[in-house]
A and B are shown apart, each in its own frame.
Chain A
């Protein structure tokens, strides 16, 4: 009988210790993100998701590249979305799950998990700095993703219609069951501005790797966002704040055109490193840089040889990426800030300041000695010069499509894009507001309005 009782005792002991026994983590690689700040930071350090998948098909739709007829079919074989974006056709983003709509939302869910985590965690004094960094970074990453989405899937910001124009989905939580709804363009931009305004107060000035956001990156993005909203004075203020923290420019005179890639990753101008989704359709030799554009560079323009390699007639390869490889740069760099500051200064009538910013940049871009500063007799002339330089400086950075759309409002700077493919002429009239269609799957799942 003793055994019987001891068995019963043994079994009841088992049940008591059971709960603890089952608390063990089944896999050491597993973690709950909100358990601590370093877990949250690890999510933001997923560079592949956060920094290296910036949508790029705005590049295909704009006027930096052309695809030769012989190359067209091989590209179409690989990606129908690429050639359809190139020719502004309607069937885009339905062939692959990894598309320009889905990839930024993968960044966004990470940031939403992180923001929900920072809300839960009451930081100790020693953790406050990390808490600030994590929260500020998440806000910046999310704003960057929202902004990128807006460039492809929403009409450009127009102060009179922004409250009605459908924007993108402002996904602000990690609830995967939520039915997606589009906010207005105004709501989207307002959210980005308020998030970034909060972020710059939290972000650190210095980071270990340029894939991590800094205060300068926050101001730089604000400058870019305000520019898209045509709020030139705010844009200028933020560009200057960023430049105060990060004024460095590389002198292209000291770079060698003999190198395969003249620019290194994390070079002195990179404020925030991000790269565009690699799309075969956008890569040489399937797509070549536009020859008309190439011919616009003056002979003493160092960018002509550093950005391009001319392999033959109408066979120009772009190699000026700040990633330092075939991958195109999609982050933020100081050269853009000089151009934003110049443009905004000129638009608000401060021509001297505008030319100063322009010439600071140009001095590092043209052959020295010999470069003569740009001069302008009128504000208009100054703006002409600045936008021309902008066109020649910010290439293959996912900025051109936004610029084309932003400048459509001004007859003087409108671009009508013409492409010829297999004898057919395709024209994107300057007046037409072209927006990419949202993937069919998203429309089916959410019932939201298509563009």
Chain B
């Protein structure tokens, strides 16, 4: 557009006049689309209305001349002078708010509120941001793009997402996910990110308390795309290919083949394996030990033995993993949608298909279908049906690192081969001695050897996931401003897990052989039939939610009131069946019954009697919730906003009195649009809003109860039903409540070229449920009990700054986000009653100490290695000693080293986008500061008992003087568990987690409409690199502080794709 008008008024000549007092008009965008819902106020008269679906409005004027004040979310307010004498139809064109301050309407799931009129704390994430990365799931796209949201990746494969840190310790820490106004019970993987229009994150009490007891951990509100009325059908299509580089298999350093072989030789000479050799259960011995036994027994000459050992020493099993198992991952994503609308309806229909292959050739396919419609019946009734279906199929791939191991409680030895020199699958010693299983077929048993590279072919682990959501909403406008809304949602999601172990799989052969009974004449009887083993496990979740609410809106003169209130009822049923079937045949689907009651002697060890594993189980659960809620906001002159909300939740909690089944929660807020004040004249700081809110959210662990409860099981020693205590009596059980104070400033400088917000919050969590150490004499073997034990305070700052640094042909935008979030326990029941040892953990357990973060790292002080022995030393009464029992018993909490929190208190990102014509490049750096992690190292007791260990072994102290350059204790035999324990829990292994990471790089090119010959409205080609690597990290060990204990760490991935519409 050549003329950049801020306000444009087109006055069309009136065709006919409806009456002197009526002012008619239409609110449109620059491109001529109507803006339904725009607020129109006649300032002097004090009357107001909002534009209808076509953008039309009518107002009655009592003054000859007046001014219209028209506002709409995301657009600049428009003031027009009107005279009722000239009753032409007015066309008001609203211009989008310039620059980056996207005036957005955030959704809480109950109502939409323009950011300008809200008191609460929200983050709004638009489609552009969601599209910057290319994950299959929606939550992954929030990584590094919004403040206050932290991904804790330490739980391998299942990142924990938290909003503004912890609000609770155990009672479920995941934020509530709301999809199209209703809590989402299904699997988050079933939501296709291509269908998502926007995400709002509700952070403070004013924003979230409408969700009551489920809001304590923050709420993530996902809104899917909708059609628009009066729009021609448009087809959108996109397609993405992603290649994930295979992970670095050497990330977790382990002891080398040669080193382990030497160890095993030494242990062998000390007689370490003699008990295992005699063990009647014939436990498998490693190839090295077998060679040593053969040499000892004269079955192998020393030269031949040495030659075989030397050959093993040259193996590295990681080479085989790399060659035969790990490959690049490959993900494909296709999505197509059609949307549009007529005068009376709008629709959005979409289909998405994803096909992913992971590093070990595991498959994941997903199909999503969605149809969403809004139908207007007359002016008063709107019907909003929508339906979503998704189907996912996951098939496990080849076994990865950590999934191939010899026997129980053993580590895969580094000299193992997965394939022989010709590439044929090799035998790995598994549960029994090689001599025992070799040629066992001659005795009539099944082959008892394990070939990991082949075994996966004879089994299949498949998960099918289907979900269906039907949703229907009816809005009825009872009076002007008063609307009744009724919504109902049915959600059904079903997971079918099928674990098939073919008769050729090691698992099935092993079970069949173990339960083979040989009589004295050598005749065999198979208690587990020779057939496949099939384990089916189905879980179906069906939820019904109904909600009725009344909404009232009125604007008069300078006032505007928005009130809503309603009730909700919800019923979530979970039903499950699990079956374990033996002698199954995929051909003909036959199966064979087995004797599950009697115990049988094991073939390999007649001293051991076992019963055939049972696997039938049923689940039937029903959770019910009811809630009353109300929310009100009063806006005066667009300057002051006061809001309040209340909610009472109740649920069918088991074992609590009915008055404990519910909890009332409330919030109140105030906001002041300073820039709308007459006295406000700071033109450079053109947007300034202050916000202050306070309120309560709640939480409860549904598994707790005030009285003793029991759970029933089947199959005790006599194969009869029995029960165990599920919850111990706890009369003081109460709801967790979290009081949240939030103070924020929203600002815009130079016509919002620089804009952002800064917020400070305090969350006071009371009666938090946690694990409390308890005297085992009271009947709890574990020595801990879960109940209301702690009060916690969390203080934090969220900052977001968006700037348009260069605004010429080349545009340069920056987004800076910063979060500070630090919690500390204010009190913890019985804290300090226990030995120092119980406060030391890996940073993933709760440290119950007042004044310290919930997840803290504590260590034994480190006094170095003893220069004469290489023993690690700690302190007893200030003296450096190696008496580990004394260290453990005399060290008090005050003597421990407190490193700091295990989760980063400071994190955020800096994103930069540079664009020139259609080309755009985006770089996003993420950072985390101020946290610690404990790295792993060698444990000699584990090395001996599991036959494997950490690569620090090679840096161990070996001779006096080594203590100058190593911290790794000397090797001792027998291992002293307390010594290993001291070293692994000492301060010397704790590292700072601080790092800066290049999280995402994105390049895109948008074809300008006029240059494309095909009838496309637009086309964007893009390429994306996710997680290219670290720019800086504090630790010197080359570890990824987000994955300190993982065997693998994610590598980078590349995506290419296009988005187009026609």
Contact = CB atoms under 8 A, between A and B. Distances in A.
B589 interface: no
Contact of B716 (A25, A45, A73, A76): A45
A185 interface: no
Main secondary structure of the interface of B (DSSP, over half): mixed
A30 B654 contact: yes
B775 A445 contact: yes
Contact of B723 (A31, A101, A325): A31
B1051 interface: no
Name the 7 nearest CB pairs between A and B, nearest first. Answer: A109-B779, A42-B723, A47-B717, A445-B775, A73-B974, A70-B271, A102-B776
Contacts of B179: none
B721 interface: yes
B127 to A, nearest CB: 36
Given A26-B652, A32-B655, A176-B779, A7 B484 contact: yes
Contacts of B476: 3
Nearest to A42: B723
B724 A3 contact: no
A48 B708 CA distance: 20
14 contacts: A7-B548, A14-B569, A21-B652, A22-B658, A45-B721, A73-B974, A74-B272, A77-B975, A169-B777, A175-B778, A260-B601, A319-B607, A441-B776, A445-B833
B526 interface: no
B421 interface: no
Interface stretch (B20-28, B191-199, B621-629, B633-641): B621-629
Given A26-B623, A286-B275, A105 B723 contact: no
Given A29-B619, A42-B723, 11 more contacts: A7-B548, A11-B548, A15-B567, A31-B710, A32-B655, A39-B723, A52-B717, A70-B270, A77-B977, A171-B779, A174-B708
B607 A326 contact: yes
A446 interface: yes
Interface string B476-497: 1010001010000000000000
A80 interface: yes
A30 B777 contact: no
The contact size tier of chain B is: 35 or more
Contact of A18 (B650, B709, B781): B650
A174 B658 contact: no
A175 B723 contact: no
Contact of A70 (B274, B650, B653, B726): B274
Nearest to B608: A326
A43 B782 contact: no
Contacts of A97: 776, 781-783
Contacts of B624: 21-22, 24, 26
Given A3-B484, A22-B658, A91-B885, A174 B274 contact: no
B722 A22 contact: no
B720 interface: yes
A325 B607 contact: yes
B606 interface: yes
A47 B719 CA distance: 10
Nearest to A43: B723
A46 B601 contact: no
B839 to A, nearest CB: 13
Contacts of B272: 70, 73-74
A425 interface: no
B622 A77 contact: no
Interface residues of A, number: 85
Interface string B629-662: 0000000000000000000001111110010010
Nearest to A11: B567
Contacts of B710: 30-33, 39, 42-43
B944 A77 contact: yes
B785 interface: yes
B775 A180 contact: yes
Nearest to A309: B607
A410 interface: no
Contact of A28 (B270, B621, B626): B621
A201 interface: no
A88 B106 CA distance: 69
A29 B941 contact: no
A32 B707 contact: yes
A39 B651 CA distance: 25
A26 B478 CA distance: 39
Q: Which of A21, A30, A45 is the most central at the interface, judged by chain B CB atoms within 10 Å of its CB?
A: A30
B244 to A, nearest CB: 40
B785 A176 contact: yes
A171 B606 CA distance: 41
A260 B723 contact: no
A47 B718 contact: yes
B555 to A, nearest CB: 21
A439 interface: yes
A29 B711 contact: yes
Nearest to B617: A29
A42 B777 contact: no
Nearest to A31: B710
Given A3-B484, A14-B569, A30 B781 contact: no
Given A47-B717, A171-B779, A285 B278 contact: yes
A48 B718 CA distance: 10
Contacts of B725: 43, 109-110, 113
B280 interface: yes
A342 interface: no
Contacts of A49: 724
Contacts of A3: 476, 478, 484
B944 A45 contact: no
Contact of B626 (A22, A109, A211, A442): A22
B974 A76 contact: yes
B653 A26 contact: yes
B712 A31 contact: yes
Nearest to B601: A260
Interface string B598-610: 0101000011110
B702 interface: yes
Given A24-B622, A33-B708, A46 B724 contact: yes
Q: Which of B713, B778, B782, B783 is the most central at the interface, judged by chain A CB atoms within 10 Å of its CB?
A: B778
A181 to B, nearest CB: 10
A171 B778 CA distance: 7
Contact of A4 (B484, B708, B726, B777): B484
Contacts of B974: 72-73, 76-77
B717 A51 contact: yes
A171 B779 CA distance: 9
B425 interface: no
B774 interface: yes
A102 B780 CA distance: 7
A48 B728 CA distance: 19
Contacts of B944: 77
A236 interface: no
Contacts of A227: none
Interface string B261-293: 000000000111011101110000000000000
A372 interface: no
A74 B977 CA distance: 12
A103 interface: yes
Interface string B448-463: 0000000000000000
A442 B607 contact: no
Q: Which of B270, B482, B566, B710 is the most central at the interface, judged by chain A CB atoms within 10 Å of its CB?
A: B710
Q: Which of A14, A77, A285, A442 is the most central at the interface, judged by chain B CB atoms within 10 Å of its CB?
A: A77
A351 B783 CA distance: 50
Interface in B397-448: none
Interface string A431-446: 0000000011110111
Interface in A90-133: 91, 95, 97-98, 101-103, 105-106, 108-110, 112-113
Interface in A1-43: 1, 3-4, 7, 10-11, 14-15, 18-19, 21-34, 39, 42-43
Q: Which of A1, A15, A31, A98 is the most central at the interface, judged by chain B CB atoms within 10 Å of its CB?
A: A31
Interface string A159-177: 0000000000101001111
